[in-house]
A and B are shown apart, each in its own frame.
Chain A
Amino acid sequence: MTQPAIFFEEVNERQGVFHRRAILLGAFAGLGIAGMGSRLAYLQLLEAQRYEKLATSNQFNFKLMPAPRGLIVDRNGAILAANRPNFRLLVHRDKDLDTEATLKHLADYVPLDEARQRRLLKDINAAPKRAPVQVIEDMSWEQFSAIKLRGPELPGVTADMGEVRVYPHGGAFAHVIGYVAKVNKEDVAEAGPNRDPIMLHPSFRVGKQGVEKALDVDLRGKPGAKKVEVDANGREVREDPEGDIPATPGAEVQLTLDVDVQNRALDVFGEESGGAVMMDCRTGDILCMASAPSFDANRFVRGMTGAEYRALTGYERKPLLDKCLSGLYPPGSTFKTMTALAILTAGVSPEERVSCGGGMHFGGRFFHCHKRGGHGSQNLNDAIKNSCDTYFYAMSLRVGPDRIAEAARAFGLGQTFDIGIPGQKKGIVPDREWKKRYFKKNKEMQPWWPGENLSYAIGQGYLQVNALQLAVMTARLANGQKALNPRLIRSVGGKELPRGSDVADLPFPREHIDRVRAGMAAVTEVGGTAWRASQLGLGDITMAGKTGTAQVRNYDSGGSRGKGGAWHLRDHGLFVAYAPIVEPRYALAVIVQHGMGGSTAAAPRAREIMRTALLKDPEIVARVLKPMPMPELTPDRELDIVPEVSNVERPA
C-alpha cells in the first residue's frame, strides 16, 4: 500500500462501527460475567446445602467398628466368655512409603526378626494398596504406647486396640458355649442379620457353636462407627472422635451352669470319654453339662492350623462331639427305673417276687442275669437294689413294650428339649408303633417279638438315650411331682427365660414314684450295686441312684463280657443319681463311654460331682453342719460321771 486508501468519511464510519461494536463486546463480557455471578448465586446460595452435604460425604467416612460381644456368665455371675483387649500392629502399603524401612524401624520397638520382616514385606506387597496387614498382635501395653507415641515418624503404621473373645475356663464349657471364629463365606447370608456389613469387618467374629451360635445376634450388639477424615485417595487424614457413633455392646447371657461343678465334672473324667449332666430337681436348671474329653475353644478363636484340627477330629474319643446332647447310648440298667414304673402301672404288686437263678429261658434262648449265680427271691425293691435282670425279664412279659415306652416318654426320653442350643439327638424309645414305622419296607421285621421285651426291660435293644435325657428322667423322679424341663439359659440381656418348673405334673401316682425312689435309695445302701462307690461322706446327706452297664455288642458271639479288650468294644458305664434322698436337690446322669462298669466307672465320678454341688449349696451345708444337740443331763446310774457328794456315799 503506497498511497492512502482511506478517505476521511470512511475513517469516521470505521470508527463509528468500532465504537458501537466495542460497546456490544463490553455488553457481551458484562453479560457473561453477570451470568457467572448468577450461576454462582444459584450454586452457592440456593444449592449450597446440597453441595455441603456432598462435600461432607467426600470428606468424612464412617468406619464400622464391631460392638463388644456380650459376656456369658454362670449362674453366680462368674465369667465364662469375655473379651480381652488385643493390641495389634498393622502396616499398609502406599505410594512414596518405604515399607521395608518402616518394618526395620518397627523392629526397634517390637520383636520382629529379619526372616519375619521379609515374610511380612512379601505379604504387604501382595495385599491391595492401603489394606492393612497385621504385623503383630497381643502386644504389651508398653509396646502399644511406644508405637502410638511414634506414630508421626511411622507412616503407614497403625496400632489399634481390638477385642478378642476369651474363654477363661478353656475346655470345660467348650461344648455348651461353643466358640467364635472368623467369618466364612458360608456365614454371610443373603438376608437377615447375617447380611449386616459388619460381617465383612476383619476383626468381626461370628458364633460357630453352642450358645455363641444360638444367641449370636443377641451377643453381637450393634456395631458403632468411627468418623475419619479422608482425602481424595482414600487415605485417612484425621480422626474425629466427636463424630463417632458408639457401639451398643451385646447382651449379657447368663447360663444356669455352675462353674465349679462343671470344672469338677471335667476334672473327674480325666482321660475317659463321656458326659455328665446335673439338674436342679426343683427348678430344672442345668448346673453342669460337661463332655469329655474337651478342647480349648480359645484355639478356634485365633484360627487353627490344619494339623491341630486333624488331631482333634482324628482322635478316637472325639473331643469335638458333645456327648451330653449328641452322643446316644443304650441306658442299660438305669432304665430299670422306667421299667419298674411300667410294672407298677400294669398293676403288678411291688411285693410280688421272682426267683432269680442266674437268668431265664425264653423263646429257646437263655437270658443271663448279670449275676451268674442268681439273686434268689426278689421283689421290686430288691430287683432295683441288686439290678436283678431276671426279675425285669420276667415282669417285662406281663407289661409289654407300650407301657414301658409310655413311662420312658413321660420322663423325657426319646425327645429333645428347648434348652436354646442346637445339637440334641432325640434317641429312640421303641414300642410296637415305632417298630412298624421303622421297618416300613421290611414286613417281616415289623411285629414286636415277645423276646424283645426282655432286652427292652433292662435298657438294651433299640433303646437309645443321651445324657441330658437321663438327667431329666432322674430329676423328674427326684422331684416326684413335676415333669421338669431342663433350662440352660437363665437370662439374655437381663430378661429371664421361662423356668423348667412351670410345667404340668407327671402322669404317675406319687406312690409308684416313691416305690422306684425307695429302690434307688437301696442301691446305695449296704449290699446295693453302688454301695461302696456312692458314699458321699456328708453324714445325713446321702445319695440315691441306679447303676447301668450297657453292652456295646452282643456277647453271645463269645468273648468276655465287654470288660476288656479294645476300647471301642468295652461296655458303657452309667450312673443316675439324686441327692439328698430326703428333699432331693440335685439329679445327675453320668455316662462313661466304654468305661466298663456303672458302679466302677460312673458312680465314683457321679459322687464327686454331686459332692461339689452339695457343698456349694448353703442349704445343704447347713444340714450337714447342723449342731448336735447336747444330751439332756438326767441323773443316770450307769454314767461314769458321778457327783462328788455321792462319791462319798458310794461305799455304803
Chain B
Amino acid sequence: MTVSALTRPGERDRLIVKLSEIDWVFVLVLSLIAGAGALMLFSMAGSSWMPWAAAHLGRFALLLLVMIVLAVVDLRVWFAIAYPLYGFGLLLLVAVEAVGDVRLGAQRWLSIGPFSFQPSEVMKLGIVLALARLYHGVPAQRARLSWWLFVPATMIALPVLLVAHQPDLGTAMLIALTGAAIVVLAGLSWRLIAIFSVTAIAAVVPMITFVLHDYQRERIFTFLNPESDPSGSGYHILQSMIALGSGGLLGKGYGLGSQSQLNFLPEKQTDFAFAALAEEFGFLGCISILALYAAVIFMALRTAYLSHSHFGRLAASGATATFTLYVLINGAMVMGLAPVVGVPMPLLSYGGTVMVTVMAGFGLVQSVRVHRYAEVTSGKGSFV
C-alpha cells in the first residue's frame, strides 16, 4: 500500500493507508530513547519504578498515541488552526502575566481546574505553525529581503518578550531560535543573517548587565568558570562534568553511578538525566544515545525535505529545529559548554511538559509525512 504521487485520489485519505504512511522506524527510535530514559529513571530511584520510571513510560505510551492521532490529522487542518493556535497562545501568555501561578520565583504556570500547564509550551508549536502558515503564501524574493520581514519578526518577538518577562529565559530563547530557524529556512538573505547574528552577539553584553536577573547572570558567570565556586552556583556544572567524566569508556555499571545514586548530581532525573546515563553507561552509552537523537533529527528533516507543500516543509523543519535545539542546549549544558538554563533532554528526562511539546511536534512532522502530497492552499476550496 505504498503511496506515491500517482496514487488514486481518495485512496490516501483512508485511515489504514494514513497509518501505514507513518514512519514506524521513527516511532521505534523514539521508543528506544524513551525506554533508555525509563531505564535511567528506574536506576535513579534506587531500582524502583516509583516515582519516575513508570510515570515516564506511561506518559510516553499515551503521548505516542496522541502523536499517531495527530499524524493522521489532515495537514490542511494544521494549516487552518495555525493562526488561531498562535493567537490562543499569545492570549494565554498575556493571561499568565495577569493571573498565573508563581512557582520558584517565576510566573509560568496557568491553572485550569486540577490541571496546570505552561502556556509557553503551546507557543513552541504555535510559532512553528504560524510562521509556516505565513511563509506558505510568500514568494522567495519577499522572504529573502523585504520590509515585509517585519511581520514574521513581530510574530517571533511578541511571544519571546512575553515569555522572557515571566521570566523563562530558556524557553524564550528556544522560541526565538525556532522562529529564527524557520525564517532562515524560508530563505532569509545571508547578509541579513550576518547582520542579525552580529547584532545579537553585540547585544549579549548589555543584556547581561542590564536586563538579566541576578540568578541568570550568576549562571552565565559560573558557566564561564565553574570551578570558581564549586559548592555554590558552579556546583551543578561541576558535578555534572564529574558524573560524565568518571563514567569513562564503559561506565560504572547500571545502578552504580556514585554521582547520581548519592545525589551529588543535582536534578538528576530531569535536566541532568543525560549526565546520569553517561556515568552509568560511559562513552559508548552516550554515543549510542546521541546516534539515536541524530537519527530522529535526520528522519524528521528528511520528512520536511520530501514534503510537496511549503507549509509542510517549514512546519516539519520547524518542529525538528525545536527538538534539535533541546538536544544541543541540554547536551552543551550537561557537558559544561553552556550555562544552566533548565532545558531538559527530550524523551530522556523526566517531565511531562517537554514530552507533550516534543511529541506534539513529532505528530505534526508525521502528519507532514503522511500528507506529503497534499495540496495546501490558502485560497478558496481549502479544507476549512
Q: Are B262 and A237 within 8 A (Cβ)? A: yes
Q: Does A4 contact B (CB under 8 A)?
A: yes
Partner of A58, one of B186, B244, B262, B298: B262
Q: Are B321 and A58 within 8 A (Cβ)? A: no
Q: How far does the Cβ of A242 sit from chain B's closest Cβ, in whole Å?
A: 16
Q: Are B331 and A36 within 8 A (Cβ)? A: yes
Measured CA separation A6–B310 after assembly (Å): 12
Partner of A10, one of B140, B287, B324, B377: B140
Residues of chain A lying within 8 A (CB to CB) of residue B96: none
Measured CA separation A382–B145 after assembly (Å): 136
Q: How far does the Cβ of B4 sit from chain A's closest Cβ, in whole Å?
A: 19
Q: Does B317 contact A (CB under 8 A)?
A: yes
What is the number of residues of chain A that contact chain B, defined by CB distance less than 8 Å?
48
Q: How far does the Cβ of A60 sit from chain B's closest Cβ, in whole Å?
A: 9
In the complex, the chain B residue whose C-beta lies closest to that of A32 is: B328
In the complex, the chain B residue whose C-beta lies closest to that of A11 is: B310
Partner of B290, one of A18, A37, A54, A58: A37
Residues of chain A lying within 8 A (CB to CB) of residue B313: 15, 18, 22
Q: Does A52 contact B (CB under 8 A)?
A: yes
Q: Are A45 and B248 within 8 A (Cβ)? A: yes
Q: Does A2 contact B (CB under 8 A)?
A: yes
Contact with B along A1-41 (1 / 0, CB 8 A): 11111110011011101110110011011101100110111
Q: Are A22 and B244 within 8 A (Cβ)? A: no
Knowing A2-B379, A48-B245, A54-B246, the reply to whether A39 touches B301 (Cβ < 8 A) is no
Q: How far does the Cβ of A86 sit from chain B's closest Cβ, in whole Å?
A: 31
In the complex, the chain A residue whose C-beta lies closest to that of B246 is: A55
Task: Determine chain B's interface SS by DSSP, over half rule.
Answer: helix
Residues of chain A lying within 8 A (CB to CB) of residue B141: 10
Partner of A18, one of B282, B310, B324, B335: B310
Task: Determine chain A's interface SS by DSSP, over half rule.
Answer: helix
Q: Quick check: which of A120-128, A227-235, A274-282, A524-532 contacts chain B, the rest being far away?
A: A227-235
Q: Does A50 contact B (CB under 8 A)?
A: yes
Knowing A2-B380, A25-B321, the reply to whether A14 touches B143 (Cβ < 8 A) is yes
Measured CA separation A25–B263 after assembly (Å): 37
> Which A189-233 residues have C-beta < 8 A from chain B?
229-233
Q: Does A621 contact B (CB under 8 A)?
A: no
What is the number of residues of chain B that contact chain A, defined by CB distance less than 8 Å?
57
Residues of chain B lying within 8 A (CB to CB) of residue A11: 310
Measured CA separation A7–B137 after assembly (Å): 10
In the complex, the chain A residue whose C-beta lies closest to that of B250 is: A44
Q: How far does the Cβ of B177 sit from chain A's closest Cβ, in whole Å?
A: 11
Q: Are A10 and B294 within 8 A (Cβ)? A: no
Q: Does B85 contact A (CB under 8 A)?
A: no
Knowing A21-B187, A29-B324, A231-B262, the reply to whether A40 touches B287 (Cβ < 8 A) is yes
Knowing A4-B379, A25-B181, the reply to whether A44 touches B286 (Cβ < 8 A) is yes
Measured CA separation A17–B331 after assembly (Å): 30
Q: Are B184 and A21 within 8 A (Cβ)? A: yes
Q: How far does the Cβ of B265 sit from chain A's closest Cβ, in whole Å?
A: 8
In the complex, the chain B residue whose C-beta lies closest to that of A39 is: B335
Q: Does B249 contact A (CB under 8 A)?
A: yes
Q: Are A40 and B187 within 8 A (Cβ)? A: no
In the complex, the chain B residue whose C-beta lies closest to that of A31 is: B328
Q: Are B249 and A55 within 8 A (Cβ)? A: no
Measured CA separation A304–B136 after assembly (Å): 91
Q: Are A232 and B263 within 8 A (Cβ)? A: yes
Q: Does A362 contact B (CB under 8 A)?
A: no
| CB<8 Å pairs between A and B, sample of 28 | A2-B380, A4-B379, A10-B139, A15-B310, A18-B185, A19-B305, A21-B186, A22-B317, A25-B301, A28-B324, A32-B324, A32-B328, A33-B294, A33-B327, A37-B286, A37-B287, A37-B290, A39-B337, A43-B244, A45-B249, A48-B249, A50-B245, A52-B246, A52-B248, A54-B245, A55-B246, A56-B246, A59-B259
8 closest Cβ pairs, A-B complex = A51-B245, A55-B246, A17-B187, A232-B263, A231-B262, A44-B283, A59-B258, A48-B248
